[in-house]
Amino acid sequence: MSEDRTGARPTPAARTSPPWSARAGIGTRDRADAHCHLDALSPEELASGLEGARAAGIGLLVTVAMDVETSTRAVQIAEAEDGVYAGVGLHPWLAQDHPDGPPVDALRDLARSGRVVAIGEIGLDFVGNSWRNLSYEDPELRRIQEAAFRRQLQLAQELELPVILHSRGAHEPTTRILAEEEMGRLGGCVQFQDGSAADVERYTELNFTFSIGSSVTYPDPGGWHDAVRAVPDHALLLETDAPWLPYDGSGRSRSVPADLTVVADTVARIRGTDADSVFATAAANLRRALPRIG
């Protein structure tokens, strides 16, 4: 999950129990959104968002979660909609709500659904966020995050599932913990919002792919686009993080899955290729990274 460029988390629409039913396929399978938050949409927004995705040819979406409540909604949506799969997990921003450890029993139960393809969104965030008004300079908050991260990696191994990572300002401890917990066998996807070419190399050695989203459309004074260019073709994924961070110049406060086309165009330009090739490569990589998709 991303914050907007001011560091604030957008306000989600009111949520209700999902009454969705249209199990019609969502376009083709050569365009895939590796990381979105469909649970944050109202029923009307969900229907509109999936219709827009279908019109844009997006045939696969992975809706990831932040806690048990959003994990439950993610599974419900995935079970109701063809082409949608779910990740379940406790986000590092919410780890401090569970100082005694993440709710692994509830997550394990949810992961029994055949529509769950990963444990996530999990990981480490040492940047902080204005949504919870927290600074992760506090060593106790970092300790709680790391403990929750390790426990969920162990759950992923127990369930033979890859993981979907959130890592900001914490690539060194994230990759160190992944190595210590021997996650290279299962691998997964890292939501790639910052970092360097050296970080790309470390994650790649651990069998991880990189989902690149709307952050790539913004000006790049720090040289992050060099890291985007360094991502190997076999490890490239695309995401929107919808409904959060919209692309630069959209004029909107929220994003939609169809914005993946803008992300693909931008990634193609940065990497010196074409959007169709980026789409096809990213979709094939997602199916390999999350084998339960099939």
**pLDDT tens, residue by residue, 89-145:** 999 999 999 999 999 999 999 999 999 999 999 999 998 776 667 777 788 999 999
Residue 6 pLDDT > 90: no
Report whether 121 belongs to an annotated binding site: yes
Structural domains in the chain plus CATH codes:
32-293 (3.20.20.140)
Confidence check: pLDDT of 7 > 50:
no
Q: What is the reported pLDDT for 231?
A: 98
Strand partners, 134: 129
Q: Any binding-site annotation on 234?
A: no
Tell me whether residue 225 is annotated as binding: no
What are the CA-CA distances from residue 67 to residues 20, 51, 57, 70 (Å)? 21, 27, 30, 5
pLDDT digits (tens, 9 = 90+) for 61-90: 999 999 999 999 999 999 999 999 999 999
91 has binding-site annotation: no
- Give the Cα separation of 1 and 3 in Å (integer): 7
d(CA 239, CA 255): 11
The model's pLDDT over 140-159, given as tens digits with 9 standing for 90+, comes to 999 999 999 999 999 999 99
Q: Is 37 annotated as a binding residue?
A: yes
- Between these two residues, 25 and 260, which has the higher pLDDT value? 260
Q: What is the pLDDT of residues 183-221, one digit of tens each?
A: 999 999 999 999 999 999 999 999 999 999 999 999 997
pLDDT digits (tens, 9 = 90+) for 45-55: 999 999 999 99
Locate 97 and state its tokens.
């709500």
pLDDT digits (tens, 9 = 90+) for 155-171: 999 999 999 999 999 99
Over residues 213-242, the pLDDT tens digits come to 999 999 997 889 999 999 999 999 999 999
Asked whether residue 265 carries a pLDDT value surpassing 60, the answer given is yes
Q: What is the DSSP string of the chain?
A: ----TTSPPPPPPP------------S-SS-EEEEE-GGGS-HHHHHHHHHHHHHTT--EEEE--SSHHHHHHHHHHHHHSTTEEEEE---GGGGGG-TT---HHHHHHHTTSTTEEEEEEEEEE-S-BTTTTB-TTSHHHHHHHHHHHHHHHHHHHHHT--EEEEEES-HHHHHHHHHHTTGGGT-EEEE-SS--HHHHHHHHHTTEEEEE-GGGGS--TT-HHHHHHHS-GGGEEE---TTSSPPTT---SS--GGGHHHHHHHHHHHHTS-HHHHHHHHHHHHHHHSGGG-
Distance CA 269, CA 272 (A): 5
Quick one: pLDDT band at residue 30, thresholds 50, 70, 90? confident
In this predicted structure, the answer to whether residue 18 has a pLDDT above a threshold of 60 is no
Task: Name residue 117's amino acid.
Answer: V
